[in-house]
């Protein structure tokens, strides 16, 4: 039996943190399309169940488009059982808007609930965590060891015991409880590991990266379970429409924007990032305080090569105090004064020196 495990779809996410309104709108639609593609994949692969381990939606206020896509996706795939466990981002909006819960949509609440699959040889058990039950659920979990047990939870993985009321999942307390596959949600990056001698735990990550804190491949996990033998194979299936990259470019010793552009170009040639993807370039390294660098210009130079480009300047300024030691000028006097200033950190001193030098040179004070 094939089962899809996905989580943290965050449909209806605003996507405005980096993008313009137009592109944010486009990405919102792409997010819905990716969900739809996942269902088509399920149909093609004859998947019999889809586990949604929380945060199907990004907000409690679900748009009509998102609601309809999900509702119709479920209704139009009656051959697939959907197990939807609400996460911390999900609210009542979606379910409340449904006149009738489709037969193939299985829901959970705040106490353990089990649904049989494959004539009872597979059991899908889950509970929605809240402040009240996050401690007690470990005491009330009782699984039939003869079944292939899938347990669904949404929360932050925590090896230590969870604090009272926190939405964390204690892997330690779930060990040796007869779990074959712990289907988790909350962490947006794919992660799989051994829970104990019998089972595995897995975060499939989100379907689409939304910000540069969600770089890398995104998709879902396809499980192929032999219910007779109680064995399982898993496969991560990338499905994201676009991929986000964060690329650090060391621009040390560059003195001009053109120098920096050359370094960026070299880095891009090495990485070969497709133009349909989203890229965050992080400029790092130490540059001279008198270095002329214009990130706005750099952004314009490379923006057309990607769906979205953002340049973050994390360079540190380097002040060559020795060079100013004997400089009989206002600058020399100033730098010597700054060097001696005890109330400033080295970074602040560099910033102050850069401000003064740029001001004296008649340039903008960034």
Closest to another protein by CB, 197 vs 362, is 362
List the structure tokens of 188. 């947006």
When binding is defined by CB under 8 A, the residue of 96, 160, 272, 342 that contacts another protein is 96
Distance CA 226, CA 245 (A): 37
- In angstroms, give the least distance from the CB of 337 to another protein: 5
Closest to another protein by CB, 253 vs 327, is 327
- In angstroms, give the least distance from the CB of 350 to another protein: 10
**Residue 104 in contact with another protein, rule: CB under 8 A:** no
Closest to another protein by CB, 33 vs 348, is 348
Closest to another protein by CB, 60 vs 274, is 60
- In angstroms, give the least distance from the CB of 361 to another protein: 5
271: left (phi over 0), alpha (psi -120 to 50) or beta: alpha
- Residue owning tokens 């897995």: 202
Among 21-29, 154-162, 211-219, 345-353, the segment contacting another protein (CB under 8 A): 345-353
Cα pseudo-dihedral 13, 100, 109, 77, rounded to 10:
-70
When binding is defined by CB under 8 A, the residue of 97, 176, 266, 299 that contacts another protein is 97
**Which sign, positive or negative, has the C-alpha torsion 29, 30, 32, 33?**
positive
**Residue 365 in contact with another protein, rule: CB under 8 A:** yes
When binding is defined by CB under 8 A, the residue of 44, 99, 164, 275 that contacts another protein is 99
- In angstroms, give the least distance from the CB of 71 to another protein: 14
**Residue 275 in contact with another protein, rule: CB under 8 A:** no
Closest to another protein by CB, 79 vs 347, is 347
Interface map 298-337 toward another protein (x if CB under 8 A): ------------------------------xxxx-xx-xx
- Residue owning tokens 């540069």: 212
Return the SS3 of 300: helix
Closest to another protein by CB, 100 vs 275, is 100
Closest to another protein by CB, 121 vs 336, is 336
- In angstroms, give the least distance from the CB of 343 to another protein: 8
Return the SS3 of 246: strand
- In angstroms, give the least distance from the CB of 276 to another protein: 28
Angle (CA) 245 218 273, round 5°: 30
- In angstroms, give the least distance from the CB of 321 to another protein: 14
CB of 160 closer than 8 Å to CB of 181:
no
CB-count burial class (<10 Å; 0-12, 13-18, 19+) for 276: exposed
Do β-strands 156-158 and 181-185 pair in parallel, antiparallel, or remain unpaired? unpaired
List the interface residues with another protein, window 32-61 (CB under 8 A): 59-61
**83: enclosing H helix or E strand:** strand 81-85
- In angstroms, give the least distance from the CB of 336 to another protein: 8
User: Closest Cα to residue 171, out of 155, 150, 148?
Assistant: 155
**Residue 361 in contact with another protein, rule: CB under 8 A:** yes
Phi, psi of 286 (to 5 degrees): -110, 130
- In angstroms, give the least distance from the CB of 281 to another protein: 20
- Residue owning tokens 């497709």: 274
Report how many residues bind another protein under the rule CB under 8 A: 35
Helix boundaries (H) for the chain:
21-44, 64-75, 93-97, 137-140, 171-174, 257-271, 295-303, 321-324, 330-340, 346-360
Closest to another protein by CB, 52 vs 351, is 351
Interface map 66-95 toward another protein (x if CB under 8 A): -------------------------xxx-x
CB of 224 closer than 8 Å to CB of 2:
yes
Partner residues linked to 182 by β-bridges: 151, 201
What residues line the site for another protein (CB under 8 A)? 59-61, 91-93, 95-97, 99-101, 328-331, 333-334, 336-338, 341, 343-344, 348, 351-352, 355-357, 359-362, 365
């Amino acid at each position: 039996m094939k089962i899809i495990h996905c989580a943290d779809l965050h449909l209806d996410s605003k996507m405005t943190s980096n993008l313009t309104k137009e592109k944010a709108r486009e990405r919102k639609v792409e997010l819905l399309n990716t969900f739809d593609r996942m269902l088509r994949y399920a149909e093609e692969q004859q998947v019999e169940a889809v586990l949604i381990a929380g945060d199907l939606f990004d907000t409690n206020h679900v748009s009509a488009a998102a609601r309809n896509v999900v509702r119709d996706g479920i209704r139009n795939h009656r051959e697939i059982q959907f197990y939807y466990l609400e996460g911390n981002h999900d609210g009542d909006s979606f379910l409340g808007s449904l006149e009738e819960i489709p037969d193939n949509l299985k829901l959970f609440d705040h106490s353990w609930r089990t649904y049989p699959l494959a004539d009872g040889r597979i059991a899908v058990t889950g509970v929605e965590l809240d402040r009240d039950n996050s401690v007690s659920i470990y005491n009330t979990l009782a699984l039939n060891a003869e079944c292939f047990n899938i347990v669904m939870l949404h929360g932050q993985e925590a090896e230590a015991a969870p604090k009272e009321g926190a939405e964390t999942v204690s892997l330690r307390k779930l060990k040796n409880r007869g779990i074959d596959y712990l289907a988790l949600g909350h962490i947006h990056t794919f992660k799989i590991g051994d829970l104990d001698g019998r089972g595995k735990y897995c975060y499939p990550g989100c379907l689409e990266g939304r910000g540069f804190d969600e770089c890398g491949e995104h998709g879902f996990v396809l499980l192929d379970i032999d219910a007779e033998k109680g064995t399982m194979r898993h496969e991560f299936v990338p499905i994201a429409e676009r991929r986000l990259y964060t690329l650090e470019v060391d621009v040390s010793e560059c003195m001009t924007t053109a120098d920096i552009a050359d370094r960026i170009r070299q880095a891009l040639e090495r990485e070969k990032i497709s133009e349909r993807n989203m890229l965050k370039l992080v400029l790092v390294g130490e540059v001279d305080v008198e270095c002329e660098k214009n990130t706005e210009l750099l952004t314009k130079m490379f923006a057309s090569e990607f769906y979205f480009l953002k340049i973050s300047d994390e360079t540190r300024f380097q002040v060559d105090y020795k060079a100013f030691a004997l400089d009989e000028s206002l600058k020399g006097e100033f730098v010597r004064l700054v060097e001696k200033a005890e109330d400033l950190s080295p970074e602040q001193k560099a910033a102050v020196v850069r401000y003064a030098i740029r001001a004296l040179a008649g340039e903008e004070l960034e």
